[in-house]
Every structure is written in structure tokens, then in C-alpha cells.
Amino acid sequence: MGETDTESEVDRYRAPALDKGLDILELLAGVDGGLSQAEIAKRLQRSPNEFYRMLDRLVRRGYVTRLEGDRYSLTLKLFGLAQLHQPVRRLVSYATPLMRELAEKSLQANQLVVFDRGSAVVIAQQEAPGYWGISIRVGSHISLFDTGSGHVLLAFRPQAEREMMIAEQAHSGEAPRTPADFFARLDQVRERGFEMMSSLQTAGVYNLSAPVLGADGQAIAAVTVPYITLVNAPDAPDITRTIELLLGTAEKLSQLAGSDVKQTR
């Protein structure tokens, strides 16, 4: 087959609109702070009018966000899609025996949560070994704002990524609820190394959440214990001991994920 034949095969299977969208995504992936429509067109050596509809669709589908000053930036949606692939299944397989051990030692249920396309999503759940415990169905989408898992996933991320995650949650249907002190609370969670908060969904439950850290020291998941006081189990670990057990589990998972960051004890 000659060069002309090869070129005709390439032309035969061209998809200009798809190529244009991929060009935009690849360009924005390598830029901090976003680009304006004119800057995108200039870098891709095309007319700005060619990109208006494509940018509009990418924003509406959640792959790109529009910043102040008419600039466009890549969201974390592609990152979220990637997490649904083999790495997440591998993380669950690593986590399962550690989560089971945590449940047996703490006498509490626990779950593993990741950020995916605008929501915190439960990807693994371990029941409490006794009669009583708080369970959340695998696949459940929970809030970034009202849960310990959500706080941890946001806290152990740079500020720019926090804002992108919040914007994606708004795009997925939940309006952001970020009071003035919300980011200060996240900084406190990061400094402390874990979140402890009263459940905003169930009375009498405390959300205890710790991060699973990647090699870059950022959260790739959260391990959460919905702690309840077990009045019929006098030898059950108290909340302080349960936090220690939780941090130990999160640290082991972080090491498996390639992190050498020590959890706060």
C-alpha cells in the first residue's frame, strides 16, 4: 500500500467534530488557569467561531468548566471516568481485607468512597460484625458538603481542585453550599489528618473519615466509619480508639497506593 493509499484510508475514517473536541481536551489538560476561546483557537490554529459550539457541548457535558473572564478549564470528569476502570477495582480488592479487619476490631461498619463525576461514591462497604451498624449501599452517591467522606476528599486536594470538584457537584445537580468558613474547615481536617463530625443524615451517628493518599499525597479515596455507641457491648472500642484503628487502616491502604505519607495519630 502506497503513501497515497494510506492517506486516503486516514481521510476515509476522519471524524472532524470528534477530533476538534479531543484537541480542546488535550490542550486544556496541559494548561493551568484555563484559556479563552480566542486563545484556544490561536493555539490550535483555527478560527474562534469553529470552537463555540464544541466548547458549549463540553461545558454542558461536564468535561470543561467556564471560569470568570470567559476562560475555559478542564474539569475532573475524565479523572472520574478513569477511576471506574481497573485501578478502582484493584483498590477495592486491596481494601476489602483491611476493611473487614477494621470492622472486626472496631465493631463498627465502614465504607470506601471515591470522587466520581461530581459526587462522592461508595465503592465498597463492610458490615459491622454484630447486630448493629450503619450501612450504605455500594454505588450510593453522597454529598461532598454534608458527609465526612466528602470533607476528606476535598480536604486532601489543592484549593484549585477543591473548587473544580465543587463546581462538578453543582453541575451534577446539587447546588454548592459553601459558607465562608467551609474551606477553613477543610484546612483543619487536613491538618488534623481526619474528619470527625456529627452525621447530618442520622441522629446519634458520628462520621469518622480518613484519607487514602496517593503517591502525591492527595486523597484518592476516603475510609469512613459511621460510629454509633454500642450500649450492649461494653468492651467495644470507644470513639478515640476507633479513630486510631481507622487511621491505621487508611495508612495501610495509602502505602498500598504508593504513598509514604504517615497519617496523624
pLDDT tens figures, 37-84? 888 888 988 887 888 888 888 888 888 888 877 888 887 677 666 655
Length of the chain as a residue count:
265
- For the chain, which residues make up each domain, given as ranges? 3-74, 81-256
pLDDT band at residue 179 under the 50/70/90 scheme: low
For the cut 60, the answer to whether the pLDDT of residue 7 exceeds it is: no
Per the CB < 8 A criterion, the answer to whether 211 and 162 are in contact is no
For the cut 70, the answer to whether the pLDDT of residue 21 exceeds it is: yes
Q: pTM for this one?
A: 0.66
Instruction: Kindly report the backbone phi and psi dihedral angles of residue 192, in degrees, each rounded to the nearest multiple of 5, phi listed first.
Output: -75, -30
Grid coordinates standing for 19? 477530533
pLDDT band at residue 93 under the 50/70/90 scheme: confident
> What CATH number does the domain located at 3-74 have?
1.10.10.10
Residues of the chain with pLDDT > 90, as a percent, come to 32
DSSP single-letter state for residue 9: H
More confident position, 202 or 198: 198
For the cut 60, the answer to whether the pLDDT of residue 86 exceeds it is: no
pLDDT tens for 121-141 read 999 999 988 877 777 888 888
What dihedral angle (degrees, nearest 10) is formed by the CA atoms of 242, 244, 245, 246?
A: 90
For the chain, the average pLDDT equals 83
Q: Do domains 3-74 and 81-256 have the same CATH topology?
A: no
Please tell me the predicted confidence (pLDDT) of residue 175.
Answer: 53
Mean local confidence (pLDDT), 78-106: 79
pLDDT band at residue 171 under the 50/70/90 scheme: low
| 7: amino acid identity, one letter | E
Distant-in-sequence, close-in-space partners of 48: CB < 8 Å, separation ≥ 6:
37, 38, 40, 41
CA pair distance 63, 56, nearest whole angstrom: 10
Per the CB < 8 A criterion, the answer to whether 242 and 225 are in contact is yes
C-alpha separations of 127 from 36, 56, 219 in Å: 49, 44, 23
* Superfamily (CATH) of domain 81-256: GAF domain (3.30.450.40)
Q: Closest Cα to residue 75, out of 41, 24, 37, 39?
A: 24
Instruction: Kindly report the backbone phi and psi dihedral angles of residue 224, in degrees, each rounded to the nearest multiple of 5, phi listed first.
Output: -130, 135
Grid coordinates standing for 56? 458549549
